[in-house]
Structure 1
């Protein structure tokens, strides 16, 4: 499932949803723009309900982000999440993902962290925080020693630097919060969000 998520489009939108009623129109706008894999972060009180709402949108893959605990994995799976994303990785988090059968994109910032995740079978990983951890040069330096791993850099990724990441042989997609700005969500400007999504979907063109 994680392979499907990471190869669905060049960008996985990282979404912070404050109002449940925004979840479905936002998801429809993003899917219409060519971005079906959606990471809904657990940073608001509405997040779990938003995941449940997005899971009902045709063509959308409802994901959960900012996973920190086993309970969050349990609840997100119950809400309808089809994949999970975490800023890092702990033993209990990985065990819970396996217990609840939630495909996980775990975070790594160093070669050691990436190797430990690879030992546990994670060939797709999140490179986080991407810019703070050295950006595209740091990620590119992992190609030689760790060619088995495909990364999704997230954290500081912008429309301006996304192409630099996507040009790396060990990067298939990036995570981006610029896709759905809060001001556009609050205004219900779904057409504009679709336009932003379309430009993001064309980054590999």
Structure 2
């Protein structure tokens, strides 16, 4: 990931993808993870790809078939809650970046064995937050971690202060209630505030 903040979006209405992407860009965030947690996710990825300058990824990717679907929809990167060799392999077949999830040192070792140098740490807050990442980073000096799950405006700076963390993902700036109200101005404001942190 290149941006310090990666919004994790759960779309209930695919038509919101374009104004959402524009609102994020207006706040300075140029990447978004649209999850497959709802029926609108796949179409949301397709629509968001129409926003110039926005890098669109797919989240909650669980199977090789999901990889095929999101790549066809235009996803530029893939995020998974866990580590699946089959999913990593399929993403590589498509030439798409993948960010699999890990929670333990054993899973990080499996990621290293697959040649990965960046993983999602999930659920970061429940696992121990920044202190856990600091401890986990020690035996894996070449690994970068993207904390997800429990990251908020209040904790973002603490996560980004960890040397092995360049990006943190969260959903507070794209919360479902903001999407339901189509409050694009507030999403832009929260995005800009996140980058200021």
The TM-score normalised by the length of structure 1 is 0.93
Deviation, 1:144, is 2.0
SS at the partner of 1:84? strand
- Supply the distance in 1 between the matched residues of 2:137 and 2:182 (Cα, whole angstroms): 41
Of residues 46, 58, 80 in structure 2, which corresponds to 1:86?
80
SS at the partner of 2:34? strand
Aligned partner of 2:115 in structure 1 is: 121
1:156 matched to 2:150 = yes
Aligned partner of 1:188 in structure 2 is: 182
Aligned partner of 1:7 in structure 2 is: 2
- Supply the distance in 2 between the matched residues of 1:15 and 1:134 (Cα, whole angstroms): 23
Aligned partner of 1:3 in structure 2 is: none
Aligned length: 197
Gaps of 5+ in 2: none
Alignment deviations for residues 120-164 of structure 1 (CA, whole Å, 9 cap, x no partner): 111011011101122111111123211100110000111111111
SS at the partner of 2:174? coil
1:38 matched to 2:32 = yes
Of residues 21, 25, 29 in structure 1, which corresponds to 2:23?
29
Contact 1:16 1:43 in 2 (8 A): yes
| RMSD between superposed Cα atoms in Å | 0.9
Gaps of 5+ in 1: 1-5
SS at the partner of 2:82? coil
